[in-house]
A = this chain, B = another copy of it.
């Protein structure tokens, strides 16, 4: 049914530059009935693309959408079923504005920042939780859906709502995701992650580690349960726990997934083993589909243009940040297309065009695109990579900081701190990616490597068997432990001896 169709489609989409055929072929007879349980925000982008394409190919596609959402909505090739939620648009707007609020805290104290950050996470997880419960506990809707004989559920497993529905209906789940913190995705998919060459999250190691690095990586990996508790519980427990009732349940539900479509690519990730039901679809959204009538005059200048978007969650900025950007744009010869929904400033440079929404991928695909100012969300980064546009990255939340470091380390752009940005630093960053020819060369190289990524050899091949099994690490760690045990025993003995001697003297 749709499971296979989705897979083949995604194989081809991810190889879109060379393999455009299947998009135009008629449906091949495997008509299916697909239920889609999406996540809001940027997570909606990839899911919507698949829902549309599946519908266009003649499948019946039903998308479950809350009555009120950030950006989810109907499409040409799928049906939507909405369900009531106990919040209104104003509540969503207040959550969205928390990112803008965060920007304004630069003047505030450290504790205020921490508090703001905490309250932001609490707001978002509470929101996710409420949305999920509104669907899962909507008995009449669930029983209505149960009668419709769906073949599979397509979902984003960051929140396991879709997975829980699939489990209830006894049908397979297809996951589309960027990743789940604490490597829950790899763990649930059963992919082995030998600590000898698979660097752990947050270590910032590469796949070629020194002995010390391998030792630390092994420790992090061994105590992953503790890392879990320390790093992930806070973020996830609040939103997930009430849905799944017990902690283990989540990986249990996730491990039943039929297919994992991961929006990643081995140009950026280090080679590591994956299971056969894990399919890499990074760049799935790079296909150019639309002409650019609305902005044609803007993209035809001799100096080209800069694309500037900060993603779904941040389309508005505090006044002082906005003027920092405008002042920089006034000083460059390029035109700027900026996705901005906030207050329009009284005067702004002639070369800047503010738009409430921009056709980001189509703009980046245009040969006039010189730079991409981005919050380093994975969709945007892959689009920049596919079309070889160098990037000025300003990570805001989630995986963005990690993404930015990886892309920058591979020569795809520079990273700036949006919370402390100045006109000078922005101009310097733009100048570096637009005028530094080595950047353009690196970008071209990376673009070709993005297609040739299979050629990168796994680091495991450089390890001897002692290193592979971390036996050297284990030996050293065991020696250290033994040393301390002996030390403690000796100390205790000494204490006891002194104590007993003292008693005798008494």
Shortest CB distance A465–B (Å): 10
Instruction: Report yes or no: B258 in contact with A454, Cβ–Cβ below 8 A.
Output: yes
Q: Mark A254-271, 1 if CB is under 8 A from B, else 0.
A: 011011000000100001
Q: Mark A445-463, 1 if CB is under 8 A from B, else 0.
A: 0000001111111101100
Instruction: Report yes or no: A458 in contact with B275, Cβ–Cβ below 8 A.
Output: yes
Task: Check: A273 CB closer than 8 A to any chain B CB.
Answer: yes
Instruction: Report yes or no: A454 in contact with B25, Cβ–Cβ below 8 A.
Output: no
Residues of B near A73 (CB, < 8 A) are: none
Residues of B near A40 (CB, < 8 A) are: none
Instruction: Report yes or no: A451 in contact with B4, Cβ–Cβ below 8 A.
Output: yes
Complex alpha-carbon distance, A258 and B453, angstroms: 10
Task: Check: A369 CB closer than 8 A to any chain B CB.
Answer: no
Residues of B near A272 (CB, < 8 A) are: 275-276
Instruction: Report yes or no: B276 in contact with A4, Cβ–Cβ below 8 A.
Output: no
Shortest CB distance A468–B (Å): 9
Instruction: Report yes or no: A12 in contact with B19, Cβ–Cβ below 8 A.
Output: yes
Stretch of A43-51, A187-195, A334-342, A429-437 contacting B (4+ beta carbons < 8 Å): A187-195
Residues of B near A3 (CB, < 8 A) are: 452, 454-455
Complex alpha-carbon distance, A24 and B20, angstroms: 11
Question: Could you tell me which residues of chain A, from 222 to 268, have a CB within 8 Å of some CB in chain B?
Answer: 255-256, 258-259, 266
Residue A21 contacts which of B5, B25, B172 (CB distance < 8 angstroms)?
B25
Instruction: Report yes or no: B18 in contact with A22, Cβ–Cβ below 8 A.
Output: yes
Complex alpha-carbon distance, A255 and B11, angstroms: 26
Residues of B near A451 (CB, < 8 A) are: 4
Task: Check: A414 CB closer than 8 A to any chain B CB.
Answer: no
Instruction: Report yes or no: B271 in contact with A273, Cβ–Cβ below 8 A.
Output: no
Instruction: Report yes or no: A21 in contact with B19, Cβ–Cβ below 8 A.
Output: yes
Residues of B near A15 (CB, < 8 A) are: 8, 11
Task: Check: A388 CB closer than 8 A to any chain B CB.
Answer: no
Residue A17 contacts which of B12, B17, B28, B454 (CB distance < 8 angstroms)?
B28
Instruction: Report yes or no: A4 in contact with B18, Cβ–Cβ below 8 A.
Output: yes
Residues of B near A255 (CB, < 8 A) are: 457, 461
Instruction: Report yes or no: B460 in contact with A190, Cβ–Cβ below 8 A.
Output: yes
Instruction: Report yes or no: A259 in contact with B455, Cβ–Cβ below 8 A.
Output: yes
Task: Check: A180 CB closer than 8 A to any chain B CB.
Answer: no
Residues of B near A256 (CB, < 8 A) are: 457
Q: Contacts A274-B273, A275-B458: A452 and B4 contacting too (C-beta < 8 A)?
A: yes
Complex alpha-carbon distance, A259 and B456, angstroms: 9
Task: Check: A288 CB closer than 8 A to any chain B CB.
Answer: no
The number of residues on chain A lying at the interface, defined by a beta carbon within 8 Å of a beta carbon of chain B, is 48
Q: Contacts A274-B273, A275-B273, A276-B280: A258 and B21 contacting too (C-beta < 8 A)?
A: no
Question: Could you tell me which residues of chain A, from 1 to 60, have a CB within 8 Å of some CB in chain B?
Answer: 3-5, 7-8, 11-12, 15, 17-22, 24-25, 28, 30
Question: Could you tell me which residues of chain A, from 331 to 387, have a CB within 8 Å of some CB in chain B?
Answer: none
Residues of B near A11 (CB, < 8 A) are: 11, 15, 19
Instruction: Report yes or no: A19 in contact with B17, Cβ–Cβ below 8 A.
Output: no
CB nearest to A450 among chain B residues: B4
Residues of B near A277 (CB, < 8 A) are: 271, 454-458
Shortest CB distance A212–B (Å): 23
Shortest CB distance A461–B (Å): 5
Residue A276 contacts which of B8, B19, B24, B453 (CB distance < 8 angstroms)?
B453
Complex alpha-carbon distance, A274 and B192, angstroms: 10
Complex alpha-carbon distance, A82 and B333, angstroms: 60
Instruction: Report yes or no: B274 in contact with A276, Cβ–Cβ below 8 A.
Output: yes
Instruction: Report yes or no: A454 in contact with B259, Cβ–Cβ below 8 A.
Output: yes
Task: Check: A153 CB closer than 8 A to any chain B CB.
Answer: no
Task: Check: A279 CB closer than 8 A to any chain B CB.
Answer: yes
Complex alpha-carbon distance, A8 and B14, angstroms: 10
Residues of B near A259 (CB, < 8 A) are: 454-455
CB nearest to A15 among chain B residues: B8
Residues of B near A276 (CB, < 8 A) are: 266, 271-272, 274, 280, 453-454, 456, 458
Residues of B near A8 (CB, < 8 A) are: 15, 18-19
Residues of B near A273 (CB, < 8 A) are: 190-192, 273-275
Q: Contacts A11-B11, A12-B12, A273-B191: A455 and B258 contacting too (C-beta < 8 A)?
A: yes
Residues of B near A172 (CB, < 8 A) are: 455
Complex alpha-carbon distance, A397 and B268, angstroms: 43
Residue contacts A-B, CB under 8 angstroms, 28 given: A3-B452, A3-B454, A3-B455, A4-B18, A4-B452, A5-B18, A8-B18, A8-B19, A11-B15, A12-B12, A18-B22, A19-B19, A20-B21, A21-B24, A190-B271, A190-B460, A255-B457, A266-B276, A271-B275, A271-B276, A273-B275, A274-B275, A274-B276, A276-B454, A276-B458, A277-B455, A277-B457, A277-B458
Closest 5 A-B residue pairs measured CB to CB?
A21-B21, A273-B273, A190-B460, A190-B458, A258-B455
